Amino acid sequence: MVELALVLPILVTLMIAAVQFGIVLKDWISVTDTARVAARAAVVARFTPQPDPCAAADAVVSAAGGGLTLESCTPSAQYVTVTVAHPWSVSLPLLPFSRGGELTSAVTEKRE
């Protein structure tokens, strides 16, 4: 029983760390996918009833939900660059630090 009492906190911490890493990985995939879709929507916006590329990108990011924000939308004559961001944080029990930051993804697409 003494061995279990010594090893169990370490195993629980590792298990929680693995779960939180999975959550951050899911958020990163969501940010990169939303940035790609928003850039695509901005590029083809001139063929839709709403020809403003940044409004089209913002509509896609808003529809994705989950705390995602459109950081920037930069249309030019040939390209559209869209940047999407989402905050992340990791907090582990039994460890005195808590880490956080912001996941960002910038996508540039050529206008058609």
- Give the pLDDT of residue 105: 96
Length in residues, the chain: 112
| pLDDT confidence bin for 5, thresholds 50/70/90 | confident
Residue 112 reports pLDDT greater than 80: no
**Residue (of 45, 61, 63) closest to 53 by Cα position:** 45
Residue 104 reports pLDDT greater than 80: yes
The domain limits of the chain are 2-110
Gyration radius (Cα) of the chain, Å: 20
SS3 call for 101? strand
Would you report the helix, strand and coil content of the chain in percent, each value rounded to 5? Answer: 50, 30, 20
Mean pLDDT score of the chain: 89
Q: What kind and span of H or E run contains 73?
A: strand 69-75
CA distance 7 to 12: 9
pTM for this prediction:
0.83
Residue 21 reports pLDDT greater than 80: yes
pLDDT digits (tens, 9 = 90+) for 51-83: 899 999 999 999 998 899 999 999 998 999 999
CA distance 112 to 106: 19
